[in-house]
A and B are shown apart, each in its own frame.
Chain A
Amino acid sequence: MTIEQMPGERDRLEVQNASLGYGDKIVLHDLSFSVPHGARVAVVGPNGAGKSTLFKALVGLLPLRGGRIFVHGLPLGNHKDCVAYVPQREEVDWRFPVTVGDVVMMGRYDHQAWIRRVSQEDKKIVDRSLAQMGIAHLAQRSISELSGGEQQRVFLARALAQQPHILLMDEPFTGVDVPTQESTLSLLDDLQAEDVTAMIATHDLGIAMEKFDVMLLLNHRVIAFGPPAEVMQQQNVLQAFGSHLTVLPDGSMIIDEHGS
């Protein structure tokens, strides 16, 4: 699997001087970075740094306040089925009367006419996505009966069923059991094999440094972007986390977001 670009083809995701925010309030200023084919990007930064804001803009939930974002060299919005988003679990109503299979099938709606029956191919893709996330046995289960980890896997399976080119996940390692963390990580490997670009917002700097090719360190602007070893240099981390950072005598760093 090559990560080199086809001649003349641009990076999968290019952000040029983008400013993003809600209403008049700009949360992220002047972002510029570009993510090549199939890269795995960990988006890190303190609480409120704008990680979720960036993702919401990438899926089209927030308008650009300035600058430009390109996917495959075309402005955002031209590829309607290109970006999939795994939201934080609190963002939907889990009492909604649908089964696990129904939710994953929603990932196929984009590929279907609004009134057409579900095709055999759609069914196959849904079954495969459920199996890949280890929840095939839950397909007929109501979503109100799921554990937190299972809820997360439902979202991941739906994102797989969307067959995206870019997958965004907001804090997939927070508040879930270890098996779900592990299947999320193995999913990342599968995605890379399929040349899908993944961007993951996470608080877990350990996982970010260990498992990702690229890190994006944010604090209302891009502090650093590149290989984890370069990004996680002391001055960058200090700029992003400020007083939450404690440097130990041996050079290792501790970030305590709950402290002062």
Chain B
Amino acid sequence: MSFLLEPLQYAFMTRAFAASVIVGVLCAVMGTYVVLRGMAFLGDAMAHAILPGVAVAYILQGNLLLGALVAALVIAIGIGLLSRQGTIKEDTAIGILFAAALSLGVALISSMQSYAVDLGHILFGDVLGVSAADLILTAALAFVVLLTVILLYKPFVVISFDPVLAATMRLPADLLRLLMLVLLALTVVISLQTVGVGLAAAMLVTPAATAYLLTRRLLPMMLLAAVLGALSSVVGLYVSYYLNIVSGAAIVLAATLFFLLAWLFNARTGVLVRRRSPR
């Protein structure tokens, strides 16, 4: 028991647990759409594209989260606009903007003097350095994103599963897709603190993919992904605390372990269990 309680006597550790559980849940819920709509590349690109925003915020001594948020929104809207008319394919638009933003970010950061330490934090997260103010901002943003996902559950399902049905229902599909990009951007920004730019995509994709292996309905998939995301964060932080590993990496490795277990033992694709029926 003291093994589990020991880390919690430090205020920075309780903040770290709170922040990473929030991020785990939020990433997993948005990740469900990322997995189902094939947006993994987009999620990864979005995470890297945040870099210039963070760099500018750092130079201006502003809030890094806020800088990341602005950059992510610019990128999300840019991708939406570039690919809206169908002249440029979405993944091409993503490729162009993501590479440009990443280069801009690296250029800005390399112009600073003490970039080495801070770049490490940006790339792999700094969950132990989460301040009380950061935590409040994280919680507030997460609340907004989750509320939107809950309120727009039906239209999001329809545009993801059957765009033609969405058209017959006269849903504002372009607007909903753009909104989904913005929500994804917010999610990636929030996850910057715990797992960093480099690993944000993993938190989006891995818990949701694990849940996809274990259930065949959307709502249970979302809830299970959220539980797995939170669990990965907690397990990862304990591992990080006791083995002295970078926390972001430990969290992602925990999530990956859950995925491997699900892949090996689930009833449909599991290689270590016998199928129930020969279907």
- A interface, CB within 8 angstroms of B: 23, 56, 59-61, 77, 80-81, 83-85, 87, 91-93, 96-99, 102-103, 106, 109-110, 112, 114-115, 142, 144-145, 158, 162
* CB–CB A106/B164 < 8 A: no
Chain B residues contacting A106 (CB-CB under 8 Å) are 154, 157-158, 161-162, 165
Binding stretch for chain A, among B56-64, B129-137, B166-174, B255-263: B166-174
* CB–CB B161/A115 < 8 A: no
**Closest chain B residue to A168, Cβ basis:** B168
CA gap between A162 and B212 in the complex, in Å? 29
CA gap between A135 and B111 in the complex, in Å? 65
**Closest chain B residue to A144, Cβ basis:** B216
**Closest chain B residue to A84, Cβ basis:** B168
* CB–CB A110/B169 < 8 A: yes
Chain B residues contacting A81 (CB-CB under 8 Å) are 169
* CB–CB B217/A102 < 8 A: yes
Q: What are 14 A-B contacts defined by CB distance under 8 Å?
A: A23-B86, A77-B170, A85-B168, A87-B162, A92-B162, A93-B36, A96-B36, A103-B161, A106-B162, A112-B154, A114-B151, A114-B152, A114-B153, A158-B165
How many B residues touch A, CB cutoff 8 Å? Answer: 26
Restricting to B115-166, which residues have a CB under 8 Å from any CB of A? 150-155, 157-158, 160-162, 164-165
Report if A91-B164 is in contact (Cβ < 8 Å); known contacts: A99-B216, A102-B218: yes
Q: Which residue in A61, A97, A99, A102 is a CB contact (below 8 Å) of B212?
A: A97
**Closest chain A residue to B35, Cβ basis:** A97
CA gap between A59 and B154 in the complex, in Å? 19
**Closest chain B residue to A91, Cβ basis:** B164
CA gap between A56 and B151 in the complex, in Å? 29
**Closest chain A residue to B151, Cβ basis:** A115
Restricting to B86-106, which residues have a CB under 8 Å from any CB of A? 86
